Chains A and B, each alone.
Chain A
Amino acid sequence: MKDQDLGHLIARVKEGALSRRSFIRKAAAVGLAAPFANQLLAFNGVAMAKANLPYKPTKAGGGGPLKMLLWQAPTLLNPHFASGTKDQIASRIFYEPLAGWDKEGNLFPQLAAEIPSKANGGLSADGKEVIWKIKPGVKWHDGKPLTADDAVFTWEYAADPATAAYTTGAYKDIKVEKVDDLTIKVIFKEPTPFWADAFVGVAGMIIPKHHFGEYKGTKSRDAPANLKPVGTGAYKFADFKPGDILTAERNTEYHVANHPHFDTLEVKGGGDAVSAARAVLQTGEYDYAWNLQVEDEVLKRMETGGRGKISAVVSGDIEFIILNTTDPWTEVDGERSSIKTKHPTLSDPKVREALNLLIDRDSVQKFIYGRGGIATASFVNQPAKFKSTKLKYEFNIDKANKILDDAGYKKGSDGIREKDGKKLKYVFQTSINAPRQKTQQIIKQACQRAGIDLELKSVTASVFFSSDVANPDTYTKLYVDMEMYTTTQPQPDPERFLNQFVSWEVASKENKWLGRNVSRYTDKDADEAYKAAQKELDPDKRAALLIKVNEIFCEAHVILPLLSRTRVAASVTNLMHDHSGWDVDTWNLAAWYRS
C-alpha cells in the first residue's frame, strides 16, 4: 500500500524535470531523511514542471475589467486578521506569500526565488531549518523594495500574542533570522516534517514593515493599512467599502513579466450562492463567483446557456457526521456534552455501527452534490498518499436492523427501538444549506426504516460556525446527538487537520469551546500515533501513523465521513483562472486572463 503511494509520487517526480534515480542517489548520500527529501522533491519537481495555468497574453494590461462576486462580502484586508475565507481571498489580491499551493498540492513560488529543497540547500538534514531566498527586484505598491526585513517583521508581527493575529499558530513556535537582504532562515524547535506553513499560502502573506512597523502588538487594529493595503500583488488598492465592494487597478510594476492581464478589478459582495451562480452562468454580469454550495442539478441547468462554466477542484475538505458519545442533554459543571458524561445509547458502538450503515452516500453524491463531492469512508482523502485504503462504506438497512436486533434494541409500539427504556431518538443538526437539508432527509428516512427516529434541526450558518460562547447552537458546542458539517483542510498535509482527533484538543467550557476536537472522543492509541507522526521524518512511516489516527476514529464510527468535497467556482466561458483546492481562489490572480 505504502509502496504504491510512494510509487504514485515518484511518478509525479518523473513528470518533473528531475530524474528520480539521480535524486535517490543524492538522497542516499544524505542518510536518514532520504525518503523525506524524495517527497519534498516530488513536490518541487511537479510544481516546477507544470506551473499551473499556461499564461497566454504577451503583454501586461489590456484585459479590461475583471469582476468577481464573493457572495459573502469581505470586511477587512489584513491577511493576518482574516479568519474568514472571504477576507483571505480579498487580502490575497494585494499581498503574496513566499509560496502558494497549486491545485495538485504542490508548492509554487510567489515571492520566493525558489522552493527550498534538499538539493538547493534550503532544507537542513535534521528537519529543523528552512532557508528561503526572496525573489530580487520585488517592489511594494508604494515603490519601496521588498527585503528580508519585511519577512522577519511579518514573523514578529504574527507571533506577538498581543497582535492577536489569526495566523499566529504558524509563527508562534518558530524563530526567523535574516541571513542577508534577500534570505531568511526559519528555525524550528523540533524536527518538523511539514515545514511549509509559515510564509506559505493563506497564513504566509508578507506585510510591509514600513506600514505596519508602528502597529505591532496591542495597536495592531489601528493600522490604516488594515483597510488600505500596500502589498506586492498584481493589483493595487483603489477603494474599499467593507461588506460591499472592493476595487483595484493594475500594478504596473508587478514582479512577473507581462502580468497581470486585467486593467481593473472589482470584487462585489452580497447575495447568496444561487444568485451568484446565476449572475455568472446565466446573465454574465460577473466574471467569477466562488464557493458555490448549490445542488449540482441547479448548476447544470444554468450551465446549459453556455455563458459560463463550472470549475470543481479536489480539496481536502470533508463533509462528515459526528456521533456524540457524551450526553448532550445533561448539564455537568455548566456545560452539556461534557466528557465526564456518557451518551445513553450512542456510547454503544453497535448503535454507531448501525447508523453508519444507514447513510446512502452514493445517492447523496449522485443526486445532491454531483461534482461537489465524492462519497468516501475516509476522513482524510487528499493527498491520496494519506487516504486510508482499509475503510469502506456500505448502505444496508437490513444489516443495520440485524445489528440493532442482536444488540437488544427492540421496536416499541411507535416503531422506535429501545433498550432498558432508552429510545433511539436523536437530534440531528447541521447548518442551513439546501444540499445539507436534503442529505438530512435522506438519512432520516433510512433511519426510520431501521427504527431510529431523527429530529432534524438546522441552524443558520452564521450562528452555527461562529465561536460565540453564549450561543448553544454552535457546532463546537455539540449540544445535540449528531451533527454534520464540512471541515476544511488548509494544506495538502493532514497533520494540522488531524489534530481534531487528539485528546488535548477536546472542546470544552474550559477552552471556551475553541478546542479542535469537536467529537470529544479520545483514544490513547490515536494520541500516541499523532505525537509520533509530528516528529517522524520518514514520510512513509509518518503517513502510516496519520492514517492510523484517521482509521481509529472512523472505525469507532464516531466520525462518519460522507463526501470528500471539491471546491466549486463559476466563471464566464472565456475567463482563464487558476483554481486550487489547497489555497484561496485568488492565490494566483496575476495569471488570470481572458481568452
Chain B
Amino acid sequence: MAGSTLASPSAEPVSGPAQTSAGTSPGRETWKRFRRHKLAMASSFVLGTLILGVVIGPWLWPVAINDIDFSAQLQTPSWQHPFGTDDLGQDLLARMIYGGRISLAVGLAAMFVATFVGILIGAIAGMSRGAVDNFLMWVTDLFLSLPQLPLLLLVIYFFREQLKAVFGVEGGVFVLIVVVIGGLKWMPVARLVRAQFMSLREKEFVEAAKANGATKFRQMVHYILPNAIGPVIVAATIEVSSAIIAESTLSFLGLGFPPDIPTWGRLLFDAKDHLDSAPHWALFPGAAIFLTVLSINFIGDGLRDALDPRRVI
C-alpha cells in the first residue's frame, strides 16, 4: 500500500489491550511506545554508555594515548591495561576512548548532514511536479553515478589545506570528512523521501489540510513529513555505520585523520596484521563499532514504531 509504512516485525505481536489515554501529549505517547520496544531500550542504554564512556572516559582513565613503552608490547588485557596494548606498548583503552570521540562524532555528524540534505532534496522533489522534480532527480542520479573515490581525492586535494588553516589539523579533517561523507550518502534518503511524499501528498488528510488553507510548507512539515519519517530514520541509522566505515577507509588511503590519531577504524587497520597473536587489539575497536552500529539500528527500529502515528500498540 502506497504511503503506509511497514511495521517492524519485532514490534508486531501485540500483547495486552491497546490503551490510549486522551490526556497524554504526543511526546509522552511516543516515549511510551518507544519504551515498549525492549531491544531499542537496551540499545539506548548501550549507546548511552558508549557515548558517556568516550565523553567522560579521559577523566576516569587519564593515560596518554601515545605513551610508547617497548617493554609492554602487545600485552593482553590486565589491570594495568584493561584493553591490553598495541605493538608500541600504547594503552588501548585510552586510545579507544580518544578514537571513539572522533568515530562517533564523525558517524553522527555525517548522518545528520546526509539525512538533512536527503530530506530537503527529497521533499522538494516530491512536492513539486515537473521540471524541478525532474531536475532534482537528475542531480540525484548524477551523484549516484559519480565515482566516489576519485571525487573524494579531488575534494580533499582542493580543500584540505584551506580547512586545515581555518579549523586546525583535526578540525579541518573532521569538517572535510563529515561534509564529504554526508555529501555523498544523501541520495538513498532523498529517493525514499520523494517516493513517500509523492504518495502521501495525494492522501485525504493532506487534501483536508489543503482545503483548510495550509500552505505548501505547512503541508510538508506538519502533515507529510511526520508520516514519511519512519523509513528515513532507518536509512539514517544505516548511514551512521557507513560513515564510521568510510572514515576508516579514508584513513587507510592516507586522506583521513593523521595516522597517529587512533580512530576506531584506524585501530582496526593497525591491528589486522596481528590478528593471530594479539586478537584483543582488533576485538575491542571491532566490538565498539559493532555495538554502536547495532544499537543505533535498534534505536531506529524503535523510533520508527514509536513515531508511526497510525500504528496502534
- Residues of A in contact with B (beta carbons under 8 Å apart): 274, 294-295, 297-298, 301, 363, 366-367, 432, 434, 437-438, 440-442, 444-445, 448, 455-460, 471-472
Q: Output the least CB separation between B166 and chain A (Å).
A: 15
14 pairs across A/B with beta carbons < 8 Å? A295-B273, A367-B73, A367-B88, A432-B259, A434-B273, A437-B259, A440-B259, A441-B260, A442-B68, A442-B88, A444-B260, A448-B66, A457-B258, A460-B254
Q: Output the least CB separation between A559 and chain B (Å).
A: 23
Establish whether residues A455 and B258, one from each chain, have CB atoms under 8 Å apart when the complex forms.
yes
User: Which of B87, B157, B273 is close to A274, meaning CB atoms less than 8 Å apart?
Assistant: B273
Chain B 250-280 residues near chain A, CB threshold 8 A:
252-254, 258-260, 270, 272-274, 276-277
CA distance A294 to B274 in the complex (A): 11
CA distance A471 to B282 in the complex (A): 34
- Residues of B in contact with A (beta carbons under 8 Å apart): 66-68, 70, 73, 87-88, 157, 169, 252-254, 258-260, 270, 272-274, 276-277
User: Which of B67, B260, B272, B277 is close to A440, meaning CB atoms less than 8 Å apart?
Assistant: B260
Establish whether residues B66 and A445, one from each chain, have CB atoms under 8 Å apart when the complex forms.
yes
Known: A363-B70, A442-B88. 15 other contacts (CB 8 A): A294-B273, A295-B87, A297-B87, A301-B277, A367-B70, A367-B73, A434-B273, A440-B259, A441-B68, A441-B88, A442-B68, A444-B66, A445-B66, A458-B259, A459-B254
Residue of B whose beta carbon sits closest to that of A442: B68
- A295-B273, A298-B273, A456-B259 known; A438 and B66 CB under 8 Å? no
CA distance A440 to B273 in the complex (A): 18
User: Which of B88, B157, B260, B276 is close to A456, meaning CB atoms less than 8 Å apart?
Assistant: B260
User: Which of B70, B157, B253, B270 is close to A472, meaning CB atoms less than 8 Å apart?
Assistant: B157
Establish whether residues B273 and A438, one from each chain, have CB atoms under 8 Å apart when the complex forms.
no
Residue of B whose beta carbon sits closest to that of A301: B277
Main secondary structure of the interface of B (DSSP, over half): loop
Instruction: Please indicate the chain B residues that have their CB under 8 angstroms from the CB of A294 in the complex.
Output: 273
- A367-B73, A445-B66, A458-B259 known; A301 and B87 CB under 8 Å? no
Instruction: Please indicate the chain A residues that have their CB under 8 angstroms from the CB of B252 in the complex.
Output: 432
Q: Output the least CB separation between B244 and chain A (Å).
A: 20
Establish whether residues A458 and B273, one from each chain, have CB atoms under 8 Å apart when the complex forms.
no
Q: Output the least CB separation between B34 and chain A (Å).
A: 44
CA distance A366 to B157 in the complex (A): 36
Closest A-B pairs by Cβ, 3 of them: A458-B254, A456-B258, A437-B259
Instruction: Please indicate the chain A residues that have their CB under 8 angstroms from the CB of B68 in the complex.
Output: 441-442, 445
Q: Output the least CB separation between B99 and chain A (Å).
A: 14
Residue of A whose beta carbon sits closest to that of B73: A367
Instruction: Please indicate the chain A residues that have their CB under 8 angstroms from the CB of B259 in the complex.
Output: 432, 437, 440-441, 456-458
Establish whether residues B277 and A438, one from each chain, have CB atoms under 8 Å apart when the complex forms.
no
Establish whether residues A455 and B169, one from each chain, have CB atoms under 8 Å apart when the complex forms.
yes
Instruction: Please indicate the chain B residues that have their CB under 8 angstroms from the CB of A471 in the complex.
Output: 157
Establish whether residues A438 and B258, one from each chain, have CB atoms under 8 Å apart when the complex forms.
no
Establish whether residues A301 and B270, one from each chain, have CB atoms under 8 Å apart when the complex forms.
no
Instruction: Please indicate the chain A residues that have their CB under 8 angstroms from the CB of B272 in the complex.
Output: 274
Residue of B whose beta carbon sits closest to that of A470: B157
CA distance A448 to B277 in the complex (A): 31
Instruction: Please indicate the chain B residues that have their CB under 8 angstroms from the CB of A472 in the complex.
Output: 157
Instruction: Please indicate the chain B residues that have their CB under 8 angstroms from the CB of A460 in the complex.
Output: 253-254
CA distance A441 to B87 in the complex (A): 12
Establish whether residues A432 and B88, one from each chain, have CB atoms under 8 Å apart when the complex forms.
no
Establish whether residues B270 and A434, one from each chain, have CB atoms under 8 Å apart when the complex forms.
yes
CA distance A584 to B127 in the complex (A): 66
CA distance A378 to B157 in the complex (A): 36
Instruction: Please indicate the chain B residues that have their CB under 8 angstroms from the CB of A440 in the complex.
Output: 259-260
Q: Output the least CB separation between B263 and chain A (Å).
A: 14
- A438-B87, A440-B260 known; A298 and B274 CB under 8 Å? yes
CA distance A458 to B260 in the complex (A): 10
Count chain A CB atoms within 10 A of each CB in B67, B273, B277 and give the residue with the most.
B273
Count chain B CB atoms within 10 A of each CB in A294, A444, A457, A458 and give the residue with the most.
A458
